[in-house]
Structure 1
Amino acid sequence: MALLSRLERFNARHPWSHNDFYGRWVARQVAGARHVLDVGCGTGNLIDLLRSRAVSVTGLEPDPATARVAAARFAGDEGVVIEQAGFEQRDRDRRWDAITLVAVLHHLPLAETLRELHESLSPGGRLVVIGCYREASPGDFLVSTAAVAANPLMGLVKHPARARSLPVQMTAPTAPPRETVAEIRAQAAAALPGARIRRRLFWRYSLVYDRP
């Protein structure tokens, strides 16, 4: 327990975003998509990567303060629209070539949201999710042990100086994940047949689905 406590204090002094770690990977998965929807866009770090690959990017962010930061960041960029809204408030008549969600899906009702994500994709469109899951299996805890060991090393590389506060992109509201990887796989098999799901490092999983 003392070791874990020391690790927590060290990680707090050298914070870095586990979500941003996967940003470039997500952007590569949707390369070639013309119109992209980023659900729960935060301050816009992923949009910044998507912008050079797409004609337009729409970011939905329900948290008012975070949405204001993103809107100011892309003010004047006609290819980016930031809406202070959740996924349930999207334009339901519009379809997207690609939809991305990073650390967002666990905030939403899983089965219903997966079905609606499918319907929000254009035929041939791609859904890319980096999500959070509830640890339950031996495999989960094995990957978590590796992440605990790697996390402080990444913190030193990405944020070598001691931080006085969290970076702004890490201040959006959070919530603990409810579903296990097994539960996510089962729901995805029903709503998104053929979706590819992998457990990832740093307490994340990836889901990639191509709508026929």
Structure 2
Amino acid sequence: MVIAKVIVMALLARLDRFNRRHPWSHNDHYGRWVADRVAASGARHVLDVGCGTGNLAALLRRRAATVTGLEPDPATARAAAERFADDPAVTIVQADFAGRDPQRCWDAVTLVAVLHHLSLAPTLRELRGCLTPGGRLVVVGCYREAGPADLLAALPAMVANPIMGVIKHPARANEPPLHMTAPTTDPQETLADIRASAARELPGARIRRRLFWRYTLVYDAPNGRNGA
């Protein structure tokens, strides 16, 4: 039993080293999906919380009139601002979610690998308040693995991850690209925790487990025309 555990740990270590040599963004993998969900809602003005260097903001800009990106990391925010310096429809603000304009609401709000950095239930409540009537919240999030279902769901990702790395980043890397260098933290909430909080704060939200240790959440605010 001990020998088997040692072998497994050694294999995982080798796999981790391989993945680091061929880095690719699990978050960018879902970028087009997020942008499509936003476009399907008809949103004109979008808030992207934790915009990073602006990869998602660039996709959203093709489908919306304006995009506001919030990014707390100074170097990352600076890179995003420089990227969109010639586009007045994109505004990058060096701030976290608490630093948003408290007087403004948006037709759509997006968060990719951001929600686990924040207090779950209060943030969901505040996100709901950021939406215009009929507005849409789109989240790609991370969750803490807990139990057999999570471990089973991780197996396909463990197999696919190095394959995707070779496809997307065939050359060996000495360090991760800039858009993958923002500070990270491990998620504390399980998928069950997230479902429970969403059920209380965002009635009707659709949550799905996704590949590469992610889940998605889509919530549509009541349109306000019939008191719903």
- TM-score, normalising length: structure 1: 0.99
Deviation sequence 1:171-207 (CA, Å, 0-9, x none): 0000000100000000000000000001111010000
Does residue 1:38 correspond to 2:62, yes or no? no
Work out the percentage of aligned pairs sharing the same amino acid.
72
- Distance in 1 (alpha carbons) for counterparts of 2:198 and 2:216: 12
Residue in structure 2 matched with residue 23 of structure 1 by the alignment:
31
Q: CA deviation at 1:165?
A: 1.3
- Distance in 2 (alpha carbons) for counterparts of 1:159 and 1:76: 29
Give RMSD over aligned pairs. 0.6
Output the amino acid matched with 1:153: I
Residue in structure 2 matched with residue 8 of structure 1 by the alignment:
16
Alignment of 1:160-175 (within 5 A): 160-175=170-185
2:190 to 180, 185, 203: 180
Deviation sequence 1:7-52 (CA, Å, 0-9, x none): 0111011000000000000000000210000000000000010011
Q: CA deviation at 1:137?
A: 2.4
SS in 2 for 1:147: helix
Residue in structure 1 matched with residue 6 of structure 2 by the alignment:
none
- Distance in 1 (alpha carbons) for counterparts of 2:154 and 2:192: 16
Output the amino acid matched with 2:168: K
- Distance in 2 (alpha carbons) for counterparts of 1:137 and 1:129: 23
Output the amino acid matched with 2:32: R
Output the amino acid matched with 1:21: H
Runs of 4+ that moved beyond 3 A: none
Output the amino acid matched with 1:3: L
- Distance in 1 (alpha carbons) for counterparts of 2:168 and 2:139: 23
- TM-score, normalising length: structure 2: 0.92
Does residue 1:121 correspond to 2:114, yes or no? no
Deviation sequence 1:41-77 (CA, Å, 0-9, x none): 0000000100110000000001111100000000020
SS in 1 for 2:216: strand
Deviation sequence 1:120-167 (CA, Å, 0-9, x none): 000100000000000002211111111111100000110011112101
Residue in structure 1 matched with residue 158 of structure 2 by the alignment:
148
SS in 2 for 1:19: helix
Output the amino acid matched with 2:193: E
Structure 2: gaps (5+ residues): 1-8, 223-228
2:217 to 163, 186, 207: 207
1:98 to 105, 108, 113: 108
Residue in structure 2 matched with residue 194 of structure 1 by the alignment:
204
Alignment of 1:41-60 (within 5 A): 41-60=51-70
Largest Rg, 1 or 2:
2
